[in-house]
Structure 1
Amino acid sequence: MSLPPLKTRERLSEVRYEIRGELARRARELEAQGRKQIKLNIGNPGAFGFRAPEHLQRAIVDGIADTDPYTHQQGLPAAREAIAAFHRQRGTPNASPERVFVGNGVSELIDLSLRALLNPGDEVLLPSPDYPLWSAATILNDGRPVYYRCAPENGFLPDPEEIEALVSSRTRAIVLINPNNPTGAAYPRALLEKIVAIAQRHKLLLMSDEIYDSIVYDDTQFQPLAPLAGELPCLSFGGLSKVHRACGWRVGWAVLSGDPLVSGDFHHAMDLLGALRLCANVPGQFAIDAALHGENTIAPLCAPGGRLYETRRAVIDAIGASQHLELVAPAGALYAFPAVVGAAAQGFDDHAFALELLETEDVLVVPGSSFNVPYRNHFRVTLLPQPEVVREVFARIERVLDRHVQRQAEAASAQTLANRAAVA
């Protein structure tokens, strides 16, 4: 007797995560055939030769004898104090260890916090483009993503008036990703103050994904949200994965600021959900104090001559020389989000392009529509490879786009001849 297939949760059909999806699976198949891939789909520093700083590694080694037991569900007391102290230095109101949650990366805490917040049908205002985990976590916790545009023509910055127009009686939170993934946009203080005012008027929770907070370029200054939010409830996310190049350690945190009386029930809900998963990875928590209060190792990488800065420069230069691409230069984070323009944009489909690039040029990128945008003429690349690798990548991208333009021209010519023949 044959068994029927196991049914899965229906809402999973609404979830997209192309960063590790169909194209990544195809890349692994090609690798198994012996083809060498240049994978620019994931912001994974360790895969490009970066290492977590030595003083963080030493902190884990020094604490390893104390890592066997479970710890408190919100994290090691010393780690939470280090995070709270860091946020107090920034001016975060009511930052205390009791209001810090350590998780297995920011990803876990995004899911946990939305689970604590949402009832079925509640809405969350998300940026478009967004990091798709935010959309997925909203959907899988029975909420509804409502997108506010961060348009390329506005430097990928949102319009506060549009954000406020989207607020409904079901809206529970406004999410910001700053610096932004995938665009690299960094939000100025005046814009953040307007968004805080919207949350204040409508009594909404602010959720600020700041995992790239210290990765900024040129004269860009990162502005944390919590100091501007004051007594308004605000949840600020950070971690070791990006700034400290320790993705595999799975160490993230969320800091709940604002009036404790207003957010008390939410705090207890997060604590309960944290307890149900027992605790986060313990060894990595021993590196938090060293990361936040030790040597700044990311700034040199982001300054002229630094690895990230020079790769970013190589991306900007390559796109500037391209016949087919435009770019809003990333002000922060680890990504660029180029647009295909001109003749190459005619009949262009970002997923078909990414697949052709992979199949013919052995380069893996992420289609722009994977980041919940309505247009299909963008793609995302990381800024993690060496500059010379990026230059080679964009030479291959140019070849694919040249072929696309040629095919479009041949199709148009054939159509013209067909039309003439029909008239004759």
Structure 2
Amino acid sequence: MHPSPPFQLSARVRTLKPSSTVGVLSRALELQRQGVDVITMSVGEPDFDTPPHIKAAAIAAIESGRTKYTPVNGLPELREAISAKFRDENGLTYAPEAVTVTNGGKQALYNAFFALLNPGDEVLIPSPYWVSYPEMVALTGALPVAVPTPPHSGFLLNPADLEARITPRTRMIVLNSPGNPTGAVFPPEVLRAVADLAQRHGIMIVTDEMYEHLVYDAEQVSIGRWAPEHTLTVTGASKAYAMTGWRIGYAGGPLPVIAAMHALQSQSTSGASSVSQYAAMAALTQREETAGFILTARAAYRERRDRLVAGLNALGLRTPTPQGAFYVLADTTPLHPDEGEAARLLLDEARVAVVPGTDFQAPGQVRLSFATSLETIEEALQRIAQLLGEQP
């Protein structure tokens, strides 16, 4: 008889769901290692390289020895650059001391949830949603409450649906616009209405604007313009500047919230990579070069989006046109009524890796990323067409 192990996993970890995105990628990579030709449309990562002026700033930082610890909340000059970015691009007034730099946008969200939520609190999250929001909220002991947005509207939020779910325990609203996985961009009138109800009910808004520069047919507006004392704005360098692996996120908001997030980070990871911070500073301060890169990338994404949406709809897989980000949600019920089984068929039979909508709260749908070449999209559409043709 073997003795019991000298440990017990915590209840919070035992209830944590693994990321479905990571699970699909792992399966796709395993097939690729076996020599199988798999088209991966499951990962939310730009296929562009980090721009040269950003890489040059990182190299210069290394060569000049700027590789030591930084302040937990980020280099002062980077926080000044972020403050200026919020002012000039978002119309938000965050002093440098009301800005914090984190190890990716996900840490900013994690810090915010643990700084603001207690067990038993309720958090409203429009769905379909990014899979990590409810899991991070649940880790705090709070309860995530989904607020559905319908596909026929382009997944736009109805503020009345949000307000109908407010209870005395509601402490927070999480917004993501442009959204993952929907690509929805909430219009100014919707954001103004949400800001108003948050102020009336005394609710904090955490808005994830990581895809703010990837907007195609809509106006990107920060909700913090209308409710500055009720809003924490989270964004970062990953998507717009093709800096996913550099792991730089940042947030601005009320000073007490930022101070609490700083305290949490000081007892966990401490500051972000010094070299990555100098690279991010170049992205934010060398604006002409950065703007040129964003324009080029955005034009490419728009062309890819249009081709993928048209192709999927032509195949009978209803797909709303996203207004931002680089994802589509496609209705795969013609392939199989269960989105998990549809994703499995697409991977195992068509060799196209997608993410089932299960963990996004998007039943009957799968997410495809168009952060890949037009040639890859064309090949994926051909494979999906062949698979649909084989269906009875």
2:206 is aligned with 1:207: yes
Contact 2:332 2:342 survives alignment (8 Å):
no
SS state at 1:338 partner: strand
SS state at 1:298 partner: helix
2:217 is aligned with 1:193: no
The one-letter amino acid paired with 1:79 is: L
- 1:283 matched to which residue of 2? 275
Contact 1:178 1:209 survives alignment (8 Å):
yes
The TM-score with structure 1 as length reference comes to 0.86
SS state at 1:288 partner: helix
Q: Deviations over 1:299-348 (max 9, x none)?
A: 22223xxx2122112102212321x211110111011111135xx26x51
CA-CA distance at 1:26 after TM superposition:
2.4
Contact 2:100 2:258 survives alignment (8 Å):
no
CA-CA distance at 1:402 after TM superposition:
3.7
2:262 is aligned with 1:271: yes
- 1:400 matched to which residue of 2? 387
CA-CA distance at 1:3 after TM superposition:
4.1
The TM-score with structure 2 as length reference comes to 0.93
Contact 1:149 1:159 survives alignment (8 Å):
no
- 1:39 matched to which residue of 2? 40
Contact 2:154 2:322 survives alignment (8 Å):
no
Contact 2:183 2:327 survives alignment (8 Å):
yes
Q: Give the counterpart of 2:358 among 369, 390, 398.
A: 369
The whole-number CA distance in structure 2 between the counterparts of 1:145 and 1:240 is 27
2:297 is aligned with 1:301: yes
Q: Which piece of structure 1 moves more, 387-396 or 182-191?
A: 387-396
CA-CA distance at 1:116 after TM superposition:
0.8
Contact 2:159 2:194 survives alignment (8 Å):
yes
Q: Give the counterpart of 2:309 among 290, 298, 316.
A: 316
Contact 2:199 2:230 survives alignment (8 Å):
no
The whole-number CA distance in structure 2 between the counterparts of 1:91 and 1:177 is 15
Contact 2:178 2:209 survives alignment (8 Å):
yes
> Cα–Cα, structure 1 residues 142 and 66, in superposed 2: closer, same or farther, change >3 Å?
farther
CA-CA distance at 1:94 after TM superposition:
3.7
Contact 1:339 1:378 survives alignment (8 Å):
yes
Q: Give the counterpart of 1:325 among 303, 313, 317.
A: 317
CA-CA distance at 1:4 after TM superposition:
3.5
2:237 is aligned with 1:250: no
Contact 1:179 1:186 survives alignment (8 Å):
yes
CA-CA distance at 1:154 after TM superposition:
1.8
- 2:56 matched to which residue of 1? 58
Q: When the two structures are aligned, how many residues end up with a matched partner?
A: 384
The one-letter amino acid paired with 2:192 is: E
The whole-number CA distance in structure 1 between the counterparts of 2:183 and 2:276 is 27
CA-CA distance at 1:400 after TM superposition:
2.9
Contact 2:99 2:258 survives alignment (8 Å):
no
The whole-number CA distance in structure 2 between the counterparts of 1:83 and 1:285 is 11
The whole-number CA distance in structure 1 between the counterparts of 2:192 and 2:159 is 10
> Cα–Cα, structure 1 residues 196 and 153, in superposed 2: closer, same or farther, change >3 Å?
same
Contact 1:235 1:256 survives alignment (8 Å):
yes
The one-letter amino acid paired with 2:317 is: L
CA-CA distance at 1:211 after TM superposition:
0.4
The one-letter amino acid paired with 1:124 is: V
Unaligned runs of 5+ in 1: 407-424
> Cα–Cα, structure 1 residues 67 and 134, in superposed 2: closer, same or farther, change >3 Å?
farther
Q: Deviations over 1:97-155 (max 9, x none)?
A: 10111011001111111011111111111111111111111011211101111111221
Q: 1:2-17 alignment to 2 at 5 Å?
A: 2-4=2-4, 7-12=8-13, 13-17=15-19
Q: Give the counterpart of 2:221 among 216, 220, 223.
A: 223
Contact 1:239 1:252 survives alignment (8 Å):
yes
> Cα–Cα, structure 1 residues 312 and 83, in superposed 2: closer, same or farther, change >3 Å?
same
Contact 1:210 1:236 survives alignment (8 Å):
yes
CA-CA distance at 1:14 after TM superposition:
4.7
- 1:241 matched to which residue of 2? 238
2:388 is aligned with 1:386: no
The whole-number CA distance in structure 1 between the counterparts of 2:236 and 2:3 is 44
The whole-number CA distance in structure 2 between the counterparts of 1:182 and 1:25 is 19
- 1:136 matched to which residue of 2? 135
CA-CA distance at 1:25 after TM superposition:
2.9
Q: Give the counterpart of 2:22 among 20, 23, 26.
A: 20
Q: 1:71-220 alignment to 2 at 5 Å?
A: 71-90=70-89, 92-217=91-216, 219-220=217-218
> Cα–Cα, structure 1 residues 77 and 54, in superposed 2: closer, same or farther, change >3 Å?
same
Computing the radius of gyration from Cα coordinates, the structure with the larger value is 1
CA-CA distance at 1:15 after TM superposition:
2.4
Unaligned runs of 5+ in 2: none
Contact 1:15 1:139 survives alignment (8 Å):
no
SS state at 2:235 partner: strand
SS state at 1:235 partner: strand
SS state at 2:226 partner: helix
> Cα–Cα, structure 1 residues 348 and 400, in superposed 2: closer, same or farther, change >3 Å?
farther
- 2:344 matched to which residue of 1? 355
> Cα–Cα, structure 1 residues 223 and 94, in superposed 2: closer, same or farther, change >3 Å?
closer
CA-CA distance at 1:240 after TM superposition:
1.1
The one-letter amino acid paired with 2:17 is: V
The whole-number CA distance in structure 1 between the counterparts of 2:373 and 2:318 is 21
The whole-number CA distance in structure 2 between the counterparts of 1:402 and 1:172 is 49
> Cα–Cα, structure 1 residues 25 and 90, in superposed 2: closer, same or farther, change >3 Å?
closer
Contact 1:226 1:236 survives alignment (8 Å):
yes
The one-letter amino acid paired with 1:234 is: T
Percent of residue pairs identical: 33
The whole-number CA distance in structure 1 between the counterparts of 2:221 and 2:386 is 39
> Cα–Cα, structure 1 residues 24 and 302, in superposed 2: closer, same or farther, change >3 Å?
closer
